[in-house]
Structure 1
Amino acid sequence: MADKRYLFYISQNYSYAILRPLQAAILARGDKVAWFLEGNEVDANFLHPDECQLMTVREVKNYNPAAVFYPSNIAPTFLPGINVAVFHGFDAGKLDKRGNNDHFKIRNCFDLYCTQGPSTTKPFTNLAKQYSHFKVIETGWCALDNLYRTQVTRSEGRPTILLCSTFSKKLSCAPHLFDTVKKLSQSNRWRWLVQFHPKMPSEIVNQYKSIQNDNLSFVETDDVIPLLQQADVMVCDTSSVLIMFLLLAKPVVTFNNIDPQKHLLNISEAELLEQTIEKALSKPTELISEIEDFIRETHPYRDGQSSVRVLNAVDEVLSGKFDLDKKPSDFFRQFKMRKKLNYWAL
């Protein structure tokens, strides 16, 4: 039986960490995988020496993948293989300009959605009944396989606080918490790690870099998982990275979260940050119970085998088991994709 070929189509540096567990599962099967990097926001220097990069759409056509994986919301529909959505994060409740949840918007790009847990499977399954041109299979998120497989050895006895923030000016906690974090980091009580979304404005990044000291480190990385494992408490806003942290059954303090549910400790005043972190570190029984309920709905898979389930789901679709309608044409979106890739052939 011939080796299957798969393609990873990425446009952001964080996609490397999302797809590498899936790459490991593909290679373990004896199959092949290649990477295609689109745009200026993804750095080819993050590729490992043994990873294969395709440089042009023509090379992708010749490679002829059975499936193309996208940790993104949109995808070209003119490449070979089925289009598989594996998501770039969790549903954080963010709304588009019309007030609709952007996480569940159907853009007629994908043949298969590999959902992370019941809270995403149910809405996408309902949408699949409505649109009938894609399949939804719950697999867990491949990006989290290493979250459960590897453990980080703690080198310090004091608690570690991880500050993460989205780049949106409207939603970001970073500008509002700067003075408080600066003050708290001058104490030796806690160790601070700071990591922001890659699109965070440079002035905010430089602001936090300027206060680095023995207690606070600014971390630039394409893989946030080791930071999540090291920290005891996360401070965040509405960034979906907070969901990954919660899945480790650890508390999150949010600042002006847009949907502050019971599994979060939400504040609206920077002055409350210190005492709320202290509460989080105490791990109140009721809070941990709410977090466990959240995990069961969001991502109940803790076996590190989500990548295997993703590949099994792809096999099901490729087998022709499902009778899917043809995807509706989306001329304007696909025209923009062709223009971006400078590819006009059929």
Structure 2
Amino acid sequence: MADYLLFATERYALPILRPLADALHAAGHTAHAWFADGAAASTLPAPVRMLAPGREGLRAAVALQPRAVFSAANWVPPFVAGAKVQLFHGFNVEKREDARGHFRVRGLFDLYCTQGPATTAPFRALAEQAGHFAVVETGWPKLDPLFGDDDGGAAKWRRLAGRRQTVLFASTFTERLSAAPHLLEAIAAQIASGERYWLLTLHPKCAPELFERYRALTGANATFVETEDLISAQRAADVLVADTTSVVSEFVVQRKPVVTFRNRAPKPHMIDFDDPAALAAQLEQAFAPSPELQAAIDAYADAIHPYRDGRSSQRVIAATEDLLAGRLGRLRRKPWSSLLRGLQIRRELGYWGRGA
């Protein structure tokens, strides 16, 4: 059928791209992948065709002339052929101001596939102003496995937990927002008690010493979860403990409670606290949520990602085809700033050959 290119710059993009690759394969298409920067050594399983990292793979990506490039990063090589489709690498968790954060438009993409009403409306307003990109609400491919058939991962964690309640801990890498250094002792005490089973994970960019300290907590009452297995861990867990990581939003989509430590922008659906000694009390509240808290959780989930059918990847493909067929309207030329950004990307990648 057709060739498509998957693009990533960090390991955490792999769970976003894999469901899309599976959907492309099921539709008879071929998915190729070229990864740069922090994802350069990463791979997706067959039938994805991995291109070599570095310039060799980039030259192959250019020669491929894909029908579309799906990016789970903030940028995409503009000189590779095909429609440039933004998938996002996380939810809007308000780590930064809108102009610098989730709603920053860099002039590189033709289509933004938004996750839900909370992000669709702002991007559509930006599209009306700019005119050089389209916006379609599709849901997020990363969450397809959250609502599909269990691949066995979640069942594995549940077997380890036995009859105990299960808590997932996740933390952002942003030092000023990270709960990991502050909650280590409180979590260690919870794990030692054995009352509940803990799944522990950290953002891949967290400091190596934090990884060592959290991995040291594993045993009969806890296990460490790698980034690629995070969705299975979210399915298995009953409650999440986190900070300002976008995992909070991913978890809430399941309509499950979250406990947040010093969240930058706490909301009614969160149980936010600032004293590590209060962790145990917050967990008790999370495992017995009030009707008001559950209603806030449900409302937030509907706003950020109302799709629970596990078919967001198929909607992304359909939206891309609509774009290519002209059914999303005629787009204006990209701004001059995008040409300058394209030159910067060429310089950063060390590629000056011919492209799209």
Q: Do these two structures clear the TM 0.5 threshold for a shared fold by scoring above it? A: yes
- Residue matched to 1:314: 320
Give identity over the alignment, percent: 38
1:146 corresponds to 2:145:
yes
Question: Which shifted more, 335-344 or 252-261?
Answer: 335-344
Tell me the distance in 1 between the aligned counterparts of 2:312 and 2:208.
Answer: 35
Tell me the distance in 1 between the aligned counterparts of 2:227 and 2:140.
Answer: 20
Equivalent pair of 1:93/1:101 in contact (CA under 8 Å): no
- Within the candidate set 339, 343, 346, 2:347 is matched to 339
- Residue matched to 2:82: 81
Equivalent pair of 1:94/1:101 in contact (CA under 8 Å): no
- 1:49 Cα deviation from its structure 2 partner: 4.5
| 1:51-93 residue CA offsets vs partner (Å, 9 max, x unmatched) | 2122322211221101000011112211100100011110001
Report how many aligned residue pairs link the two structures.
Answer: 341
Equivalent pair of 2:5/2:70 in contact (CA under 8 Å): yes
| 1:301-345 residue CA offsets vs partner (Å, 9 max, x unmatched) | 001111111111001110023110011133443233112322102
Task: Name the SS of the counterpart of 1:140 in structure 2.
Answer: coil
Q: Give 1 or 2: higher helix fraction.
A: 2
Unaligned runs of 5+ in 2: none
Tell me the distance in 2 between the aligned counterparts of 1:28 and 1:299.
Answer: 24
Whichever residue aligns with residue 130 of structure 1, its letter is: Q
Aligned positions of 1:80-229 closer than 5 A: 80-95=81-96, 100=99, 102-151=101-150, 152-153=154-155, 154-155=158-159, 156-229=162-235
Cα pair distance change 1:100/1:290, threshold 3 Å: same
- Within the candidate set 244, 250, 275, 1:238 is matched to 244
Tell me the distance in 1 between the aligned counterparts of 2:322 and 2:63.
Answer: 24
Task: Name the SS of the counterpart of 1:133 in structure 2.
Answer: coil
Equivalent pair of 2:62/2:79 in contact (CA under 8 Å): no
| 1:259-293 residue CA offsets vs partner (Å, 9 max, x unmatched) | 11100000011111101101101122211111110
- Residue matched to 1:277: 283
Tell me the distance in 2 between the aligned counterparts of 1:68 and 1:104.
Answer: 20
- 1:210 Cα deviation from its structure 2 partner: 2.3
Cα pair distance change 1:120/1:233, threshold 3 Å: same
Equivalent pair of 2:116/2:139 in contact (CA under 8 Å): yes
Tell me the distance in 1 between the aligned counterparts of 2:349 and 2:75.
Answer: 14
1:54 corresponds to 2:51:
yes
Task: Name the SS of the counterpart of 1:76 in structure 2.
Answer: coil
Pairwise CA RMSD of aligned residues?
Answer: 1.5
Unaligned runs of 5+ in 1: none
Tell me the distance in 2 between the aligned counterparts of 1:195 and 1:183.
Answer: 17
Whichever residue aligns with residue 89 of structure 1, its letter is: G
